[in-house]
Amino acid sequence: MEKERGNLLKALGTQVAEPLRAMVVGAPLEDAQHLAQRYDRMRQEAEAQAIEVSKRQAKVREMPGNAENAMKLEAAEAKLQDLKTNMNILGKEAAAALSAVEAQQQRLTLQRLIAMVEGGACLSSDSLTNS
């Protein structure tokens, strides 16, 4: 009985735990995490740019007719719009990558668990025939 338990634990480790550990630190997950981090940095930059736009709008209201302030406001608004567009694209990519990794991990986990259960069934039937 102890030998069977040891075999089952060994099978669990080699067929489930080690592959799951490899998936957790695998390239697709790292890529998805990097995309999510880039998205977060871009979001922070967009927030800072929105504050800059607000400041420039206030300057334009304080000094109407100042062409330099108006041009700086237009440039700041254009930069904010670019950031929003890029952030939207990157956000979709990051979400898709994370969803793909999650789906892959769920499939592989299920496959490993099924393999382990089937392996355990073989171990049990072997022990019955050997008894």
Beta carbons within 8 Å of 85's beta carbon, 6+ residues apart: none
Please compute the mean of the pLDDT values over residues 55-75 and round it to a whole number. 93
Query: What integer pLDDT is reported at residue 126 of this predicted model?
Result: 53
80 pLDDT band, cuts 50/70/90, is very high
Angle between helices 67-130 and 27-62 (to 10 degrees): 160
Q: Quickly count: other Cβ atoms within 10 Å of residue 12's Cβ.
A: 16
